[in-house]
Amino acid sequence: MNVAGIDVGAKQLHVVVIKNDKVLAPLVFGNHPEGFRRIHSLLRQQKVRRVVLEATGIYHLDLALALQQQASLEVMVLNPKAAKHY
């Protein structure tokens, strides 16, 4: 299964995709609706099924909601204390 991890910041989203057990180069998107659309396009192109992001104050909420609207994606929001161990 292809997966993606997203490091959420107030202004930027750092996305890493793991495809066929290979880590692809990290990409940076804006933390705004256009950035969300670009991320969704990337995830669809790479056939990502699961997305993991860290709960970061309020900054992850809009992205998590936008991604959860996509039926093909499983979105997991992790507690920062739990994410630290991965």
Q: Which residue has 């507690």 as its token pair?
A: 79
- Paired tokens of 32: 């705004």
- Other beta carbons within 10 Å of 80: 10
pLDDT of residue 46: 97
What is this structure's pTM? Answer: 0.90
Query: For the residues 15-38, what does the mean pLDDT come to?
Result: 97
Q: What is the mean pLDDT of residues 30-39?
A: 98
What pLDDT is stored for residue 67 in this prediction? 96
* SS3 state at 39: helix
Predicted confidence at residue 82, as pLDDT, reads 73
Domain architecture of the chain: domains with CATH: 2-83 (3.30.420.60)
Percent of the chain past pLDDT 90, that is, above it, reads 83
Query: Rounded to an integer, what distance in angstroms lies between the CA atom of residue 14 and that of residue 29?
Result: 7
- 8 A C-beta contact, residue 4 and residue 52: yes
